[in-house]
Amino acid sequence: MQLCRAGSAIILILVIWTYYAEPLAEAVSPFWNDKLLDILILIPAIGAAIAGTLVMRQFGAGEQPHRVWQAFAIGLWFWVGGEISGIVYDAIYIDTPYPDFRLVDIFWLLGYFYLGLSLYYQARLVYGAQKRKGRLLYMGLVGLAFLVAAGLTQLASKAGLGGESAWVILFITVLYPVFDLTEGTIAIWLSFLFGRGQWSRPWWGLILFALADSVNTFYWLGGYDLIPAAAQSAMDFVSLAAYPASYMVAGLALLSNYFILQYGAESGLLETARKNNPV
């Protein structure tokens, strides 16, 4: 685990350095500097998806935790597809504007669906016999997320943000950080309420996704025109660091759980997991 944490830190430093130093911008072209940045981010995305798959395979198909981690892994793989399709779109539309709705959005939305499904399955495990209560609570929170996103979209539209984009495109853009924050908050709530921190931590990365997506949405809506240059720079840095870190947080948490399941006491992580009363 120490090696994985060190590797994650190195990649994060490389992401920040590549963004600000732009080592390939003059030597090759700004396009390839951006692609280097995309590849550096793709590495922890793939790592998190692989770690999720490893955790899933520790449970039999008939075991309840299998559904939790299967849905989680599928969600992460869809996000990997989103990262890859984003790179492809950059190459295709290198000299032309992007279409409003892209394959990338389909991958992201499917990823959110499966991550939300994974969280729902874990909520059912937590509530046990009170499955109906857990289902109603979860569906209520999802409905609230849609309402909040719709309300924010309406406000943004009336304020003239988002340019000439259609309302539904505006809604999808706002929906990303709302979903991140909703799913991440539910995971942390379950973690502290039921003492299941070790097995809720993979979702904590969604809080960092919420930070990054919120900044990107604010920029896309034209919000940068309302703030000074110093604030823009600070928000750029937050988004830049939080985005790859979100994959790293999820991936390291999943990898920790895998080592616990696979190697038990030999992993050196079992005592911490017992204190957190894992699923």
Check residue 60 and give left, alpha or beta (phi > 0: left; psi -120 to 50: alpha): beta
List helix spans (H) across 22-63: 23-27, 30-56
Percent of residues, the chain, with pLDDT higher than 90: 36
Q: And the tokens for 202?
A: 């993979």
For position 49, what pLDDT does the model report? 97
Select the more confidently predicted residue: 81 or 161: 81
For position 261, what pLDDT does the model report? 85
For position 193, what pLDDT does the model report? 60
pLDDT digits (tens, 9 = 90+) for 192-226: 665 556 677 787 887 888 788 888 878 877 788 88
Average pLDDT of span 182-200: 68
| pTM assigned to the model | 0.85
Residue 158 to residue 156: CA distance in whole angstroms: 6
Per DSSP, the residues of 145-184 read HHHHHHHHHHHHHHTTTTTT--HHHHHHHHHHHHHHHHHH
Is residue 125 within 8 Å of 68, Cβ to Cβ?
yes
Check pLDDT > 50 for residue 114. Answer: yes
Banded pLDDT at 127 (limits 50, 70, 90): low
Q: Give how far Cα 230 sits from Cα of 57, 59, 168, 227, 237, Å.
A: 47, 49, 32, 8, 11
Percent of residues, the chain, with pLDDT higher than 70: 86
**How many CB atoms neighbour CB 238 within 10 A?**
15
Residue 247 to residue 250: CA distance in whole angstroms: 5
How deeply is 47 buried, as exposed, middle or buried, from its count of CB atoms within 10 A (0-12, 13-18, 19+)?
A: buried
* Domain ranges (residues) in the chain: 2-275
What mean pLDDT is reported for the chain? 84
Banded pLDDT at 238 (limits 50, 70, 90): very high
For position 131, what pLDDT does the model report? 60
Q: Give how far Cα 95 sits from Cα of 31, 90, 92, 98, 180, Å.
A: 11, 9, 8, 9, 31
